Amino acid sequence: MNNNYFHSYLHKQMPVMMILSLVPGFAYVFLSWMHGIPLRAVGWYGVIVVTSIWGSRVYKEYRDDELSGPRLEAWYQRLSLFYYITFFLWLVIFVLFIFEKQYNLHYIAIFTEIGAAVVASTLLVPDKKLFIPSIIMLMLPLVIYFLFLDEWYGYVLSAFSATLTWVLIYSANSSHKLLMQTNFQANHDFLTGLKNRHYFINYLQKLMLTLHEYKTYSFLLLIDLDHFKTINDSLGHEVGDSLLQKVADRIQDNLFDGALLARLGGDEFVIAGPEYTTKDEPAEVAERLANRILLSLKDSYVVDLQHLYISASIGVSLVVDQANDANRLIKEADIAMYEAKANGRNGVLIFDEDMAQRVELKLEIERMLHFSLDMNEIYLLYQPQVNKNNHLVGVEVLVRWKNERLGDIFPDVFIPIAEHTGFIIELGRYIMENAFRTLSVWEQQGVNINQFSINVSIRQFFYHDFVDDVRLLCEEYLSPKMREKIVFEVTESIVAADVDKVIGLMEQIKALGIRLSMDDFGTGYSSLSYLKLLPVDEIKIDRSFVSEINSTASDRVMVGSILNLAREFNLSVVAEGVETAEQFEFLKECNCDVFQGFYFSKPLTESELVDYIS
């Protein structure tokens, strides 16, 4: 039996048992002394006292939160022994006094024997291995004793005693079942039947103690379903519930001996590994197990005649140094799991110190980013875009952040974080306002630029006030003629949202005179059919294709076909990341319209750009 609740219950009954032995036991000493036969009782009482002293030591040894699994088992054996010995001693006193008929002490012996059996049937309820042998040990001699009286009432009493034995065992067993049932409910998840969070945390704490004590190693796997909320929200909680049950079954099928699976809540499951003697083994086993689970979860599920698909992200933490505690282990697995989600989901990541640092840095960036606008740390650069003759036709506005503590942080790093926290709304508006202002200043100064491209991130694009904000800023800074120079660059992932909504928003933007460009074309969803649907004016070939032009034939073919396609749809094409003359030549041959890249110029400050033009 390996259960904290029962351990502590039986632990609490120990003093009760001791008092019930020492006080009535003393009555025997007194009575036998009165009748001049004190020796047996005194000797017996001595043993009771010694047993109780030992019992009180066993009692004190118990520390639920400090004993590791094997130690707890050993302690529980001592506790069991204490109960066995104590009840055995009550059998002994019965045998010693049952034949003392001349002093009527046999009545006392019979009564205390029955009393002891009743005590066993109540105090020892949590463990069948304790109460069944104890009750039988105490009651059987009584049954036999009455039988051997060789009187009619002896037979009746013997039968009654046997019945009482059965009643005691029966009632103890019923209470036992009830206790087990409540205990089961307290430790299990109602929906999946798996162990619940409460049980798991206790289990993990015990496991950590064991690992610590025996210098062994293990792992923790945190499994979180991807986009489960969408299923719950769109198909209803009943479908979500059945899906969770099926997922639980599939995970369970992958488990092996010694590993424990629990549902932490929602769509989060956790597995604690068994003990390993080497440091490397847990990492290997955990990764293999995680990949197997991912694979098995991917197959379709049939719920309510619908085919559903779901993936999961898994974070793994390893017990590598023994100083780890349970909470930290879970937190580390959690960090790894979130990293796995951030890496595009449906994957496994093992926590390590690098990851901890990355996460720490990310949090730091998140905190600092919040103050970046007030601290005037955000500024804009402008990267020239040229035509075939290497003449400037436009610029792309690129944001920069220079923080006092963190140094220069690139938009690839902080834009996703700003998107995540929602700061992008504020930041995006700031960028747009400054870009518009720059454009209007340049216009006044006679700096002639045909195209002024501004990146718009998805969250910003879908923000409910976005179109109104743009309209207001246009009215404030730009004449209708100038608005035609503005191009908003959005990425292909925009089509992951409701396409009708995207088209609606795009139409509103276009109504303001602003053009639209599909940035990083070819890297995301890049469904060509969307190109036809969306009212975009331009595509930007991602620099990953451009950079491979010289080395891979397939990328040359890709770039060539994107350009053909664009002509088909009447779109202009900007090639990004042009770094060499060969790339420029090839793109020119393919009839690309506009070129942008370090070959022509790096992103420049306002004044550098003005110099570049003149």
User: Least distance (Å) from ligand C2E to the CB of residue 491?
Assistant: 7
- Looking at beta carbons only, is 169 or 415 nearer to ligand C2E? 415
Would you give the binding string for Mg ion spanning residues 479-508, x where CB under 5 A is met? ----------x-------------------
Structural contact between residues 11 and 124, judged by C-beta atoms closer than 8 angstroms: no
Q: Of 94, 104, 102, which Cα lies nearest the Cα of 145?
A: 94
- Cβ of residue 487: shortest distance to ligand C2E, in angstroms? 11
Which partner, Mg ion, ligand C2E, none, binds residue 25 by CB below 5 to 8 Å per kind?
Answer: none
Query: Which residue, 202 or 455, is less far from Mg ion as judged by CB?
Result: 455
Only one residue has tokens 């009527």, namely 104
Burial class for 608, CB neighbours closer than 10 Å (0-12, 13-18, 19+): middle
Of positions 334, 492, 519, 593, contacts Mg ion by CB under 5 A = 519
412's contact among ligand C2E, Mg ion, none, with CB below 5 to 8 A by partner kind, is ligand C2E
**What are the start-end ranges of the H helices in 69-196?**
69-97, 105-123, 128-147, 152-187
Contacted by 438, from ligand C2E, Mg ion, none: CB < 5 to 8 Å by type? none
Residue 399 or 609 with smaller CB distance to ligand C2E:
399
Which of Mg ion, ligand C2E, none is residue 241 near (CB under 5 to 8 Å by kind)? none
Work out how close the CB of 290 gets to Mg ion at its nearest, in angstroms, rounded to a whole number: 34
- Among residues 224 and 489, whose Cβ is nearest to Mg ion? 489
User: Smaller CB distance to Mg ion: residue 203 or 521?
Assistant: 521
411 vs 513, beta carbon nearer Mg ion: 411
Q: Which of 572, 561, 577, 503 is closest to 538 using CA atoms?
A: 572
* Cα–Cα–Cα angle for 281, 285, 287, rounded to 5 degrees: 120
- The tokens describing 237, both together, are 């909680």
- In contact, 460 and 495? CB cutoff 8 Å: no
By C-beta, is 442 or 463 nearer to ligand C2E?
463
Mapped onto helix, strand or coil, the DSSP state of residue 458 is helix
Residues 6+ apart with CB under 8 A from 494: 458, 461, 502
Between 282 and 577, CB nearer to ligand C2E: 577
**Least distance to ligand C2E, CB of residue 418, Å:** 8
Q: Which residue type occupies 369?
A: L
Cβ proximity to ligand C2E: between 69 and 411 the closer is: 411
CB of residue 258 to ligand C2E, shortest distance in Å: 47
- Which parts of this chain interact with ligand C2E (CB under 6 A)? 383, 397-399, 410-412, 415, 428, 431, 455-457, 489, 519-520, 543, 576-579, 596-598, 603
Smallest gap from residue 488 Cβ to Mg ion (A): 10
d(CA 187, CA 167): 30
Report the C-alpha gap between 101 and 118 in whole angstroms: 24
Q: Is residue 339 near Mg ion by the rule CB under 5 A?
A: no
Residue 520 binds Mg ion (CB under 5 A): yes
Nearer to ligand C2E, 65 or 408 (CB): 408
- 348 vs 338: CA distance, rounded Å: 10
Site for Mg ion, residues 73 to 112, rule: CB under 5 A: none
Residue 68's binding partner, choosing from ligand C2E, Mg ion, none, with beta-carbon cut-off 5 to 8 A by kind? none
CB 439 within 8 A of CB 453: no
Secondary structure (H, E, C), 536-599:
CCEEEECHHHHHCCCCCHHHHHHHHHHHHHHHHCCCEEEECCCCCHHHHHHHHHCCCCEECCCC
Contact of residue 226 among Mg ion, ligand C2E, none (CB under 5-8 Å per partner type) = none
Buried/exposed 50-78: b ≥16 CB within 10 Å, e otherwise: ebbeebeebbeebeeeebbbebbeebbee
Q: Which does 492 bind (CB under 5 to 8 A by kind): Mg ion, ligand C2E, none?
A: none
336: which 2 tokens? 């790894």
Q: Which is nearer to Mg ion, 339 or 489 (CB)?
A: 489
* Interface positions, 420-479, toward Mg ion (CB under 5 A): 455
Four-CA torsion 438, 442, 448, 454, nearest 10 degrees: 0
Q: Residue 457 touches which of ligand C2E, Mg ion, none (CB < 5 to 8 A by kind)?
A: ligand C2E
Q: Comparing C-alpha atoms, which of 502, 494, 561 is closest to residue 524?
A: 494
Residue with tokens 């204490």: 82
Long-range Cβ contacts of 85-89 (<8 Å, 24+ apart): 85/51, 86/17, 86/21, 86/48, 86/51, 86/55, 87/116, 87/120, 87/134, 87/137, 87/138, 88/137, 89/21, 89/44, 89/47, 89/48, 89/51
Q: What is the widest separation between alpha-carbon atoms in the chain?
A: 130
Listed ranges 19-27, 79-87, 511-519, 583-591: which one lies at the site for Mg ion (CB under 5 A): 511-519
Q: How far is the CB of 490 from ligand C2E (least distance, A)?
A: 9
Residue 603 touches which of ligand C2E, Mg ion, none (CB < 5 to 8 A by kind)? ligand C2E
Instruction: Tell me the closest approach of the beta carbon of residue 502 to Mg ion, in angstroms.
Output: 18
Min dist CB 489 to Mg ion, Å, is 4
Considering beta carbons, is residue 127 or 489 the nearer one to Mg ion?
489
CB of 520 to ligand C2E, least distance (A): 5
In the complex, the smallest distance separating the C-beta of residue 411 from Mg ion, rounded to whole angstroms, is: 9
247 close to 187: Cβ distance less than 8 angstroms: no
- Rounded to a whole number of angstroms, the minimum distance from the CB of residue 204 to Mg ion is 46
Q: Contact residues for Mg ion (CB under 5 A)?
A: 455, 489, 519-520, 576
